[in-house]
Amino acid sequence: MILEDNIQTVQEDDFKSDLYVQAMLGKNNDKIDIRQVTLQVSKVAEISESEQHKLFEILNKFKFIIIQYEDSLHPQENFLALSKFFGLVKRHHRSDNNGIVAVENLYKSLDTKTSRSATNRMHPMHTDGSADIDPPKIVALQCEIPSQNGGFSQIVYGEEIYEYLIKNYPEELQNLFTNPVTIKNLGNKTDTRAIFIEKQGRILITFKADSLVSIEIPDKIKNAFQIIKNYVNDPNNQFIFKLKANQILILDNTSVLHGRTSFPDNEVRKLNRLWFDGISEYAHHLQFGFVPKSKLLNP
């Protein structure tokens, strides 16, 4: 199976393709080979023990994994089978009966009531459920139909944001632990939480900067918030790839931010999204958050 075509040469289009071509030469696309993070299985529900072992190994090391399964008439079965590893499905205001949220261009517009995931617009870098009191630990995105142009997945490491801040803005970083941000989403959920929190020696990140949701940022961290926003939306700090049909991207939502580039109006792109609480009989295999190399004096 050839996986190299996950990173395709982007054609000239309206979707800032030049930037993305440049980004593919950026540091994270140099560091990570898409084949290292892709696990091929026959059916998700029938994953073998050695595949399970690899799944957790890749997820703990890279904080995300792409599972590629054999073409199936029932893609949702493959998707819902993830619950065994990642726990209960957490619902969203757009969830169907199984908890699945459609990520496709349903509205062809972007107004203040439309979720970005229901449009073809770019989705700026974020963690999911940042307005939830208890955000999902695991986010899974299943690709049924990729777009031909645009619609690239982007990932940024929370640990790299942390290291960047500790090196360049240590005082600002300190303030991020103690000055919570309040986010209210379109489903009218509100949560107040610090961008970085420390839990049992590990650091967890939550971040969203999106004009569609209401975000209250304390004055003390307004500058740091902008620094993070610039850092994460710089393609040079992202890992960029195209999710293919029959692939599921699984993210540690406490360690990495994700986003996606826009895609043309006339393209059909169809993904499904699920959120998991991370509490399963396999939970002891999962290590959420990251242990930074450099430490703050009083985190």
Choice between 128 and 144, CB closer to Fe ion = 128
Residues 6+ apart with CB under 8 A from 263: 15, 105, 120, 147, 149, 150, 151, 269
Q: How far is the CB of 226 from Fe ion (least distance, A)?
A: 21
Q: Which stretch binds Fe ion (CB under 5 A): 43-51, 121-129, 169-177, 213-221?
A: 121-129
Q: Count the residues in the chain.
A: 299
Helix 170-178 with 222-232: angle, nearest 10 deg:
110
Q: How far is the CB of 258 from Fe ion (least distance, A)?
A: 6
Residue whose beta carbon is closest to ligand AKG: 117
Residues contributing to the site for ligand AKG (CB under 6 A): 103, 117, 123, 128, 141, 153, 258, 260, 271, 273
Q: Tell which one of 6, 28, 115, 128 touches Fe ion (CB under 5 A).
A: 128
Q: Nearest to residue 52, comparing CAs of 216, 254, 284, 256?
A: 284
Q: Which stretch binds Fe ion (CB under 5 A): 41-49, 123-131, 220-228, 248-256?
A: 123-131
Q: How far is the CB of 25 from Fe ion (least distance, A)?
A: 25
Q: Which does 260 bind (CB under 5 to 8 A by kind): Fe ion, ligand AKG, none?
A: ligand AKG
First to last CA, the chain: 46
Dist CA 86 CA 171 (whole Å): 36
Q: Which amino acid is at 14?
A: D
The footprint of Fe ion (CB under 5 A) covers 128
